[in-house]
Amino acid sequence: MSEQTSPPTACTAHAMRQTAMVPAFPDLEGRHPCFSTTAEGHAKAARLHLPVSPACNIACAFCRRDFNRIEHRPGVAARLLTPDEAVAVTERAVRLIPNLAVVGIAGPGDPLASDHAITTFSKIHARFPELTLCVSTNGLMLPARIDELVAAGVTTLTVTVNAVDPAIQAEITPKIAWNRRRLDGIAAAERLIANQIDGISKATHLGLTIKINTVLIPTLNDDHIGSIAETVAAAGARMINVIPLIPEHQLKRLKEPSFIDRHKARIAASKHLRVFTHCNRCRADAAGVPGGSDYTRELYGDDLVTEPTFSHG
């Protein structure tokens, strides 16, 4: 379950810094903050996240989704939007945010667990074909829905892969909903991992640009990051974002990874993929430049009533 990771050296760290100065995706550098590897490119373009996805089909031990205006983390939004409301918000965003380049859907549930995200993307692509469309998914339904995503205009894809060893994945995601029934433990883990890798491979062959998000979880997958990166790279992914755990839900007993923990994980991942290092752990309704301008209140106002949490799978 574990792999040996050599301690980072000054030469290794220098090599990572030098690599990070070269754009990973020249066509997206400065046009998509989550696929721009230089600090300048990351801060150049704005993105809009649309919270249209109500349900999730997996139950991760660290995940606590909610509707509020306070927390700044994935899985949180002020409210859920319908596809038509999302189009209206995008129209306002285009007028309000001069450097808006990307419209993404990353929650608060999984975008492929229902039809809302694909419907929204189709409407926005027809109305604003110049905008880059991006989706972030757990990958369970990716093989089945990748053709629909491409038809809806999506060109950039993030898949959250937290393990490629079923024994580790079963600890992180102990249950999933698959084909209208519940799978638990190793069976759930094997299905999720197989679908993630299959979906990444299919998306690669269809020409999508693919980034992996991996939540770094001390005592569970912290010695497994290199294996994850190697496996998804072989399937066609080109970048990885190692995100430190926010101790929540069933994993609130754990500590958030230290700077050294994150650095070691990124070193292990960098042997196989470019490493994204500018993540701000955005809300599902974020708007603006990550870590910079924030247009969320201007777009959504203060009169929106928060709603109770939807299905957690």
Are 124 and 103 in contact by the 8 Å Cβ rule? The answer is yes
Q: At 213, give phi and psi (nearest 5°).
A: -100, 130
Q: DSSP letter at 8?
A: P
* Element counts in the chain: helices (H) and strands (E): 10, 13
| 221: its two tokens | 């997958």
Are 284 and 48 in contact by the 8 Å Cβ rule? The answer is no
| CA dist list (Å): 58 to 83, 118, 224, 248, 311 | 23, 19, 21, 16, 10
CATH of 10-295, one of 3.40.50.720, 3.30.1130.10, 3.20.20.70, 2.40.110.10: 3.20.20.70
For 13, other C-beta atoms within 10 Å of its C-beta total: 14
| pTM as predicted | 0.84
Q: What is the pLDDT of residue 307?
A: 41
Q: What is the pLDDT of residue 36?
A: 59
Q: What is the pLDDT of residue 39?
A: 56
24 contacts: CB under 8 Å, gap ≥ 6? 35, 37, 238, 239, 274
Burial of 268 (0-12, 13-18, 19+ CB in 10 A): buried
Tens of pLDDT along the chain (313 residues) come to 444 444 555 555 555 555 555 666 767 665 677 775 655 544 567 889 899 988 899 999 987 765 456 555 565 566 789 999 999 999 999 999 988 989 999 878 899 999 999 999 999 999 999 999 999 999 999 999 999 999 999 999 999 999 999 999 999 999 999 999 999 999 999 999 999 999 999 999 999 999 999 999 999 999 999 999 999 999 999 999 999 998 887 888 999 999 999 999 999 999 999 998 866 666 667 777 776 677 777 887 654 444 433 333 2
